[in-house]
A and B are shown apart, each in its own frame.
Chain A
Amino acid sequence: MLDWRQSRVPKVAALISSLTPDLSKVLSLLAAALICAGLANGLARPERRLDWTGWAPPPAAAPATASATAPATPLPPPQPPAARTQVPAPAAAAPAPAAPRKAPAPPPPAPAPSRFAPSAGELIRELSSEAALEAFRLKLPFLDARRSSDYEDGHLPGAWSVPIWEAAAPARITEFEARANPSPQSPIVIYCAGGDCEDSRLLARKLVDLGYRNLFIYRDGFPDWVKQGRPQERGPRP
């Protein structure tokens, strides 16, 4: 046993010391990876681009399952989203005009049924399949939090594409605000792929940070919509 140790210890030391001369090469590989990543990300198409300092919530803050998400801490007072529409969207990320297409003042929202009325205690609530259909018939705005490619493969008619993991997401939110002009209390329905998909929750939390106070998550998401045989659209966002 003693011989084993005597024969192995120098080899372990040699293994460790043999790495030392490679330190410059180790760092060079990392530097090369950073340079390649920067170049590739700069040249990537918008749907494949990531901001280096992108927004992502703390992992622990996203519940895996919850029927309704209420703020754990006092939230700041609602910021009127209409004020943010004055900020122009980045030209590269938002090719569509940021200005509203129709009249600058949107039509006053119809009296919302109690199901979609703001709730003081719950900023984010879940919707069943039937409630999502009701929201669709009431022409409430739907936001699709899935990737752009998934949106192009099929989405709810009239849904806005806000792919939360893509660099274009902030510009899409700005565009949605400019064209739909929702108020902080306006009901907004968000969906993704259902199941354990967390994208709609992430987008909802982003919208809460932006001041929205009446958000709904279509719990079963687009797969359920398709399963129920409801209308859908294909293709990129208008």
Chain B
Amino acid sequence: MIRRLLHPWLTVRTQIALGAVFVAAALPKLADPPGFAEAIWNYQLAPAWLIHPAALTLPWLELLCGLALCLGVWTRAAAAWCAALLLVFVTALSINLARNHPVDCGCFHTQAAARSADERVADMRWAILRDLGLLALAAQILAAGAAGPRKEA
């Protein structure tokens, strides 16, 4: 079972899927850094000095990691970044969910949608589940690399 889960055939497809998601998530943020900064601020977690640098850098990090995964370059480093980012996203969403502070995810768009608090909470739950699924993909890539490190470009 473990051998099948770590099979190179599956790993390549996992890399492409995870990479494509990260590229798709990065593009709207790259197009609108102020909007993404506002999305980060809405989480009410990051210190003020970190909001703008994070809004400028995170989308590029997502894009580069996504491209690296899709192209099969530096896959373990990219998967490690993806896992770290996903952990941060899940933690941030969970904290706001726990303190009943509905926020727009800001995952694939930067403009806040006109939705009710209940709709936002539901979206946050789905976003957490989605991020946990993506985290499993990143873990598969890391585990496959650990089980049989391949020569990377």
A residues neighboring B (CB under 8 Å): 11, 14-19, 22, 25-26, 28-30, 32-34, 36-38, 40-41, 44, 47-60, 147, 163, 165-167, 195-199
Contacts and interface: CB of A to CB of B under 8 A. Distances in A.
A53 B44 CA distance: 18
Nearest to B117: A196
Interface of A is mostly: helix
Contacts of B149: 18
Contacts of B43: 59
A28 to B, nearest CB: 8
A108 B65 CA distance: 59
A197 B35 CA distance: 13
B6 to A, nearest CB: 10
A60 B52 contact: no
Interface stretch (B12-20, B55-63, B86-94, B121-129): B55-63
Contacts, number: 118
Contact of B74 (A29, A47, A56, A198): A29
Contact of A22 (B30, B55, B61, B77): B77
Interface of B: 30-35, 37-38, 41-49, 51-53, 55-61, 63-65, 68, 74, 76-78, 80-81, 112, 114, 142-143, 145-147, 149
Given A22-B74, A29-B78, A59 B45 contact: yes
Contact of B64 (A36, A50, A57, A58): A36
Given A26-B77, A52-B52, A166 B65 contact: no
B64 A49 contact: no
Contacts of B142: 15, 18-19
A40 B30 contact: yes
Given A28-B77, A56-B52, 4 more contacts: A15-B142, A18-B142, A48-B31, A50-B34
